[in-house]
Amino acid sequence: MSRTPTSTTRAGVRTRLRPRRKHHYALTGLVCGALVLPLSLDTASAAPEPQGKDPKVAWRLLHSEDFSKTLDPGGAPWTRETYAEPFDTIMDDSGQWYANDYGPAWNTAFNSFDTYRKEFPVGDGGWLTASLSARDWNKDGRIEKAPSITNGRAGGRTVAQLKVPDHTGGAIFRPTEQLPDQYRIEYRLKTIDFGGKRNGTIDYDNRINGYSKDGCKTQHPWGEGSNSPGWEGDASAPYCEWQDVREGNYGYNGFHYLSIVDFADPAPRNNHFWHYRRKVLMDSFSQHPDRVGSGTGGRVCNSSTNTYYNYRDSSFNTVNMWISGLPNWTPGKGGVAGNSQWFMSSCSGGVAEQQLSSAAELQPELMPNQDYVFAIERDATGYTLEASGNFARAGRKTLRFHRNFIVNNQPIWHYNVKPGEYDGRFNNTLVQNDNNGSARWPDQWPAGSAYPDSFVIGDLYTNVYEGSASLTDIKLYVPQTATKKQEN
């Protein structure tokens, strides 16, 4: 696919430039809080209209998409990715980090296949973009198992169906233009099948944790780092000897219910890239029992009693509501770059804590007759994450957590969408001193920087995650008082 011009705005990171875009931004603030609202039982067939919208903001609907119109009517082509214009030089697919860790053998592994991309506009004025990624395993120009985003019906509604038949594919929705300074983005999830148990077992429909049983499935060529467990750390190893994603110590599946990332025009990429580019998110993390092992696997909040239970005692269909914090600026040899992770739940009173804690547990068996609504808001003080529906153990609720941009000198990563929102206090240099090379990426959050908000819904990862989902009613709200200039 064609790429727009780029310009380097900070060391190692490029931003796409579009002349038609107008960048306008908001202000900052502090504090965090939580709200848990019971939902009325007279709408038992589906999640109701969200009840948690910020009462201080009068929202106006700007865009809405129910997928009643044909998706991709022109049949957008698949185009081979050349990485001529990478999103960054660090952890993007062709990033320097991997070569510095694994050495020359990594380049051979990376060049052993081709990646193809496909994008097409969706909705009124093309305000949404569907973005897909697929792997051509033998570089013959033919994609073996292409992902898709197509029209469908579920629970009596028109929906978009996302299908990723191989874990090396990806399928997402994103905004075509960067989001305004203040907004609310929401949608309805009608079905989800990206791992977790069904009727008490992780082995169902001839799949394991949502993955096909055919062949082997590994993170190749973007492993967890040569010094991490689950493999020998040798990039020259055959594909099947890399870290297994279907089962074993690194076995997990998942889905991004809704994420806000720090750059324009996001597209599916390897999982380690995303661990350095997200601001706030809600996702599933469906671990295989091998990964949980003899531990708890984390904890899940029962919002009815505000008490935790062990992840290992859940159906593995949990909802994590969390923020990305500052990264480890100097990962050790054989490690990967990534941000700290802070989880919010009603059990913590909405306070973001550095311990894996799911805020709720979905019940996929109830879908599509019952569904879930996910929403994220950005206001002048911070971000609000919201999930509504019929949760296991807790019943029908709206879970809603607000996190200010900075709390106790701990920021949300790259929260500023314009330079005036941030004074440069968290700037630093990312340093890699690794087995096969070293690098420094200075000014990773300097004064004068700006990081536009983009949302992402779907399967972002091109070396992990496999399954299907359907969704509808993607809506973008802006404050009632917003001007046309602020909306663009």
Residue 34 contacts residue 110 (beta carbons within 8 Å): no
405 DSSP assignment = S
Alpha helices in 52-103 (DSSP H): 96-102
Q: Quick: pLDDT tens for 317-362.
A: 999 999 999 999 999 999 999 999 999 999 999 999 999 999 999 9
Task: Tell me the helices (H) and strands (E) count for the chain, helix number first.
Answer: 5, 31
Report cis status (omega within 30 of 0) of the bond before 452.
no
Q: Provide the pLDDT confidence category of residue 43 given band limits of 50, 70 and 90.
A: very low
Question: What pLDDT does residue 11 have?
Answer: 43
Rounded to whole angstroms, how far apart are CA atoms 292 and 250?
10
Residue 37: pLDDT over 70: no
pLDDT category at 19 given cuts 50, 70, 90 is very low
Residue 431: Cβ-neighbour burial (10 angstroms; 0-12, 13-18, 19+): middle
pLDDT tens for each residue of 126-183: 999 999 999 999 999 999 999 999 999 999 999 999 999 999 999 999 999 999 999 9
Cα–Cα distance for residue pair 430/328, rounded to 1 Å? 8
Q: Taking the model in full, what pTM does it have?
A: 0.90
* Strand ranges for 379-453 from DSSP E: 382-391, 395-404, 406-407, 410-411, 430-434, 437-441
On whether the CB atoms of residues 487 and 477 are closer than 8 A, the answer is no
pLDDT band at 230 (very low <50, low <70, confident <90, very high): confident
Per-residue pLDDT tens over the stretch 238-292: 999 999 999 999 999 999 999 999 999 999 999 999 999 999 999 999 999 999 9
Band (231; pLDDT cuts 50, 70, 90): confident
Q: Read off the pLDDT of each residue in 180-187 and give the average, rounded to a whole number.
A: 98
Q: Is 274 helix (H, G, I), strand (E, B) or coil?
A: helix
Euclidean distance between CA atoms 184 and 172, whole angstroms: 18
**Size of the chain in residues:** 488
